[in-house]
Chain A
């Protein structure tokens, strides 16, 4: 610990070594058997359950909870994985408070839903802990499918295709598969290298070859893939980051939040540099993950600034509370005007906003001291060969399918990407076998 939270500038090693281990450990550990039994007992086994409807992957939640309650967590896990092969990661990162748990009838009745996410994690961790892969491949079809992007959509698609008997090659531009699961999620939500372990477990189905370091448009073209394969699935995510469009955003110390989060996931935490006074601009999960982790790295002050009100924020109330609980200050209703500084950032000037006839209007300004600024105001599709005018991809055109964040429609959630990848696989299967 050569530095402290008060050391000026963007530096690493602000905390004693033990603090890093504690700060980045599992934010919510897995339930033990007794806790799971108690939590499962609360499920009413609803008819046509609202939780199941709310789940983008339509997991049969009442059934898997009943399987936990009756002492068969492996069967519960199979129920989950049959719909969502990345059920382990989704159990960790799904905003359940906005999905299944929000509509749980016990949330309606008591303000305390059945802990569906944690129960899902109990079941999936139990089965995955045994190293068992619960699915086998159908007889080989002789068909070959290319999947571009080894994120949640691509992996879900590849797994389902392999299960149906097709041979799959997954192309991934980064060094490791996993996509946002590996590079884009806060460390404390998925510690102990879970994303990599999950991919390894998923690939046990067989029939899937992953080629990393291969980028569409650079190392391989879409035409080539179409020529070489019976079908192509694009799950390429959103690689571009929206600009602030404010003066000074090129100053040293201004950084994309997604890059910071990715660095954190791949590094020894003590080696990751963070400012003394951090300002995060944006209101989504990426903003929260960057803000909270800045604090956990030892930043002295972290402020999240969102241009609209609390109710408009895409990060859930649960996430916002998590951030404020970690010591992050959230300012609602303010937009950046100018990034201040000469060589490096020294502060950000914001203007309070209000709704006007032509959208958000700027009012009174204020300045926040900052030696590091994270931009987290959304991502865009940048894959030049296929993106038209920055619009998201259509779900199917000819022998090309698309799913996940890069595709039109649906929320940009891991679980939505899984659903779209899985459904695209079924559509590809139907098309190839027709």
Chain B
């Protein structure tokens, strides 16, 4: 069986599945339950400075969107950092770490943007025997208005500055957690690297309003008739997170910077995808909040089985495997031609491919009198929409035309690799020599 033990910036854990800094990691009782369930590590919910803790709202703090059968697809929250006293959290962290030495224990931090505040809080952690710290530069609500969290994460210079302070005042590895509420994720990642960060973790939550109550005309979750933007997470944000992870993994400036992948990871497969795109491990929150801690057992068995099938013995063999295949649009092979193919054996004749193609795409699917749906190769541009809307997995597939075959749509034979940079329609094309 594959070895899931991971060594992430020197922090060892029995598997790459950590719980992200969030409500599930706010208390000793939760974290002990998580470790009993099998989680490889936790990032303890963000601690603030000494003194009176922050307060949370006393009405609903989560909003959601759902798919079929009320499956939770996206969750948003307006919860702040821990609202429990610093000393209580530190005492509990120490107690748990003492009992679970093989698990990773990371402490998330968010304090005001001055060196003294960071030095003070880091000093408090020495005694806990935690394995590392994560700087929360991400939360988009509540704390950002006070100059912390997302407010820092949106200014690369601040990220660099605070990271540098932290590296100066602690011996522990420093992970910088990035906000996705920016235009180019590479900039904050580069800043973290310049500041000396050991790793980045991403993504934090996305600014969002999940819904509007059409009776009270207020955003949800609603507090006394008002609502505010909150941080969005869960399966719906995974594609955004995957892209941001990939951007950092393949950027020349940040390539090789360790990444802890976060964003909608719900199954072993999601985790494997993040790892293939360069994440050394992953952090999970919404899936645990939806289904409970036990889901990690499926993640462990699923990843093991997958790695066994692929002949991988260590997670390091998976990490980054897909990064070389992430490229820019201009380098995609314009002479790669596929055509949709509908398996008549698998087709259940719902006609969704037909409606989608006929109404919204390229009119490339024919509907026979007995509800037989076939692809018109001379119209099909291989857009993949039919594949995406078909309710039966693998009923419609994209079949590659071999080199030399005639593409019935263009009448031209499939030829060798060529991309936009040399395409005759490209005004800035470089002439192929």
Contact = CB atoms under 8 A, between A and B. Distances in A.
B393 to A, nearest CB: 11
Given A50-B371, A109-B392, A44 B69 contact: no
B350 A47 contact: yes
B351 interface: yes
A47 B389 CA distance: 12
A133 B349 CA distance: 36
Contact of A47 (B70, B355, B391): B355
Interface in A40-89: 41-42, 44-50
Interface residues of B, number: 14
A37 B348 CA distance: 23
Contacts of B348: 105-106, 108-109
B432 interface: no
Given A37-B70, A41-B68, A41-B69, A47 B392 contact: no
Contacts of B70: 37-38
Nearest to A69: B68
Contacts of B351: 46-49
B350 A105 contact: yes
Most buried by A among B70, B350, B351, B354: B350
**How extensive is the interface on chain A, given as a class?**
10 to 19
B352 interface: yes
A38 B69 contact: yes
A44 B392 CA distance: 11
Contacts, number: 35
Interface in B73-92: none
Given A38-B69, A41-B69, A44-B391, A108 B349 contact: yes
B391 to A, nearest CB: 5
A50 B349 contact: yes
A50 B354 CA distance: 14
A47 B352 contact: yes
Contacts of B392: 109
A37 B68 CA distance: 9
B68 A44 contact: no
A38 B67 CA distance: 11
Contacts of B352: 44-47
Nearest to A53: B371
Contact of B354 (A45, A47, A109): A47
Nearest to A42: B68
Interface in A16-56: 37-38, 41-42, 44-50
B350 A46 contact: yes
Contacts of B69: 38, 41
A350 B53 CA distance: 89
Contacts of B349: 46, 50, 105, 108
Interface of A: 37-38, 41-42, 44-50, 105-106, 108-109
Given A38-B69, A44-B391, A108-B349, 7 more contacts: A37-B70, A46-B350, A47-B350, A47-B355, A48-B351, A105-B350, A109-B391
19 contacts: A37-B70, A41-B68, A41-B69, A42-B68, A44-B352, A46-B349, A47-B354, A47-B367, A48-B351, A48-B367, A49-B351, A50-B371, A105-B348, A105-B349, A105-B350, A106-B348, A108-B348, A109-B348, A109-B392
